[in-house]
Amino acid sequence: MLLTRYGIREWGIMTLVAAALVAAAVAFSQWVIASVVFVAWLAGVSFFRDPLGRRPATDAPNDMVSPADGKISAILDVDHHAATGGPAKVVRIFLSVLDVHVNRFPCDGTVATIVHADGKYLDARTEESARVNESNVITLDTASGERIGVRQVSGAIARRIVCAAAIGDRVRRGARFGMIKFGSTTELILPRPADVKVHVKVGDRVTGGVTILATLRAPGSGAG
């Protein structure tokens, strides 16, 4: 288990402050205080954990893995989405403060666009938050010519979206690209909703970079 580099400032400060407080408590034999500080430090830095050894549960190019840990909060079709330039299937994941918050790419591809939008900081558990909160949309062009989107959405506590990707980057499925600091939402956005087979349902828990959320079938292949 590592601590993500995307939160090095926060967990670094936590560690320095906690070390100073524990040292002072130990110097005065205040073992209870030292223990409380240690537990608080452990809880704080655990938000920035970055599990090792994750492998996508698929090697099929049309299978999309989850871009985040959390719970499926919505699966919907929209008539038009800016990420795909047309109709889209959106799979939305809610991340609580207890979930790993590192975001991962759902498929292989090349980063085509990155669009940040200022917005509000409503509770990420509400439907409205997905529409009006601060967000960052990354689109990928796949080898087959598809345009896939991933949207990072802030929450009431999350006030900083981190995206380390750059336009033109060639990326691999499951690779890390950023995080949203504290409770938030991440969306997978796929074109041609009629050709998308979703493998999860609302309420399912998913693992970033591992769980297969959906398969984008070839045009006209039909539902199955």
pLDDT at res. 124: 64
Angle at 19 between CA 13 and CA 22, to 5 degrees: 135
Do 67 and 34 belong to one domain?
Answer: no
Do 122 and 43 belong to one domain?
Answer: no
pLDDT at res. 97: 84
pLDDT at res. 119: 75
Within-domain flag for 140: yes
Within-domain flag for 170: yes
Both tokens of 21, joined, read 């407080």
> Do you know the residue count of the chain?
224
Do 163 and 80 belong to one domain?
Answer: yes
CATH of residue 175: 2.70.70
Local confidence pLDDT in tens for the 224 residues of the chain:
689 999 898 899 999 999 999 999 999 999 999 999 999 999 989 989 999 889 998 889 999 999 999 999 999 999 999 999 999 999 999 998 889 999 999 999 999 999 999 877 666 666 766 777 889 999 999 999 999 999 999 876 655 889 999 999 999 999 999 998 876 899 999 999 999 999 999 999 999 999 999 999 988 765 54
Do 31 and 77 belong to one domain?
Answer: no
Number of structural domains in the chain: 2
| Whether 184 is catalytic | yes
Do 197 and 146 belong to one domain?
Answer: yes
Do 83 and 188 belong to one domain?
Answer: yes
Within-domain flag for 222: no
Do 32 and 114 belong to one domain?
Answer: no
Do 146 and 198 belong to one domain?
Answer: yes
Do 204 and 100 belong to one domain?
Answer: yes
Within-domain flag for 160: yes
Q: Which of 73, 135, 154, 184 is catalytic?
A: 184
Within-domain flag for 221: no
Contact 99, 57 (CB under 8 A): no
Do 136 and 29 belong to one domain?
Answer: no
pTM of the model: 0.89
pLDDT at res. 102: 94
Segments forming the whole domain that contains residue 33: 2-50
* Closest by Cα among 36, 44, 35 to 15: 44
